[in-house]
Amino acid sequence: MSEYKYTYKFSEQTVDTRYYKVESNTKLTQSKMQELAWCCEGTGGEFECKESPEFKATFEGTEYGDDAVYTMEQGQEDLKGE
């Protein structure tokens, strides 16, 4: 049992967008393109594919969402009016 009278729980969801660039001298399948790109995620720099010098994947950065959506999970009925 909590020592506090009211408990409020909420969740926050945002949408972040990650940008990749994959360059190749040959056509790639979607899964191969994603595999190459995801190998370099989060490095903030370039990743040269080890399988072939003909591929190059670059993680170009993340745009963080500012469109947060809040959902009350518990305690909404106990909120004080603004």
What mean pLDDT do residues 17-34 have? 85
53: left (phi over 0), alpha (psi -120 to 50) or beta: alpha
73 within a domain of the structure (yes/no): no
55 within a domain of the structure (yes/no): yes
- What is the number of domains present in the chain? 1
Contact indicator for 58, 20 with CB cutoff of 8 Å: yes
47 within a domain of the structure (yes/no): yes
**pTM here?**
0.59
For residue 78, the tally of other CB atoms under 10 A from its CB is: 10
39 within a domain of the structure (yes/no): yes
78 pLDDT exceeds 80?
Answer: yes
Tens of pLDDT, residue by residue over 42-55, are: 545 555 555 567 78
33 within a domain of the structure (yes/no): yes
28 within a domain of the structure (yes/no): yes
CA atoms within 13 A on the CB side of 73: 8
For residue 58, the tally of other CB atoms under 10 A from its CB is: 19
Residue 33 DSSP SS3: helix
Q: Which domain holds residue 37?
A: 15-65
